[in-house]
Chain A
């Protein structure tokens, strides 16, 4: 199993550009989430999904869109990038078996917005 994969690893955007961060998992996990990590801030939840076709907002959803058409994929879209979105983005997945389960994280995408 590859686990959770993310592409690209690095990306530089100009203000106003759009892009999609890709995330895929091969563990058949129902739950998937996106987090952003900024220095000294820990990880903050952007959006999450409990299954195909179902998504909801986390702590810091503004400026980001998500969709989940399949169990495996959970892309994160930046419609008009801003410098404040410079961050490291992690995708994570977990199973629905127990009430609280460990999350498996992807390797991250390091995004710089100029």
Chain B
């Protein structure tokens, strides 16, 4: 299929702990996008990765694209309650299409 596989489905952490979600594909990806959806909200774009081995940081968030361009990860250092939500990876395709993973739902306990 065209979807990307994402694990874990759920992650519960205590505030201050780290969090990682993984995205895998059986085929080489031209790009990977990451979105965050707060409870009751809509997906909001975080970042796009296109280069092999690419690493990008946004404050406490670190995004990586694998050397073979078949996997990606999002790592959050020292989670905060504001990080709560579902994180999705998505394969971007031509003509404005996105194919999403199933998401990782993050719960942060204070």
Contact = CB atoms under 8 A, between A and B. Distances in A.
Given A100-B50, A102-B48, A43 B95 contact: no
B27 interface: no
A21 interface: no
A95 to B, nearest CB: 9
Contacts of B93: 100
A100 B92 contact: yes
Contact of A94 (B3, B6, B96, B103): B96
A50 B95 contact: yes
Interface of B: 2-3, 6, 9, 30-31, 33, 41-45, 48, 50, 88, 90, 92-103
Given A45-B97, A100-B50, 13 more contacts: A33-B98, A45-B98, A48-B95, A48-B97, A50-B96, A56-B95, A94-B96, A99-B30, A99-B31, A100-B33, A100-B93, A104-B45, A105-B43
28 contacts: A31-B96, A33-B97, A35-B98, A40-B9, A40-B102, A42-B3, A42-B6, A42-B100, A43-B98, A45-B97, A45-B99, A48-B95, A56-B95, A59-B99, A92-B98, A93-B96, A99-B30, A99-B31, A100-B30, A100-B31, A100-B93, A101-B92, A102-B48, A103-B33, A103-B43, A103-B98, A107-B42, A108-B42
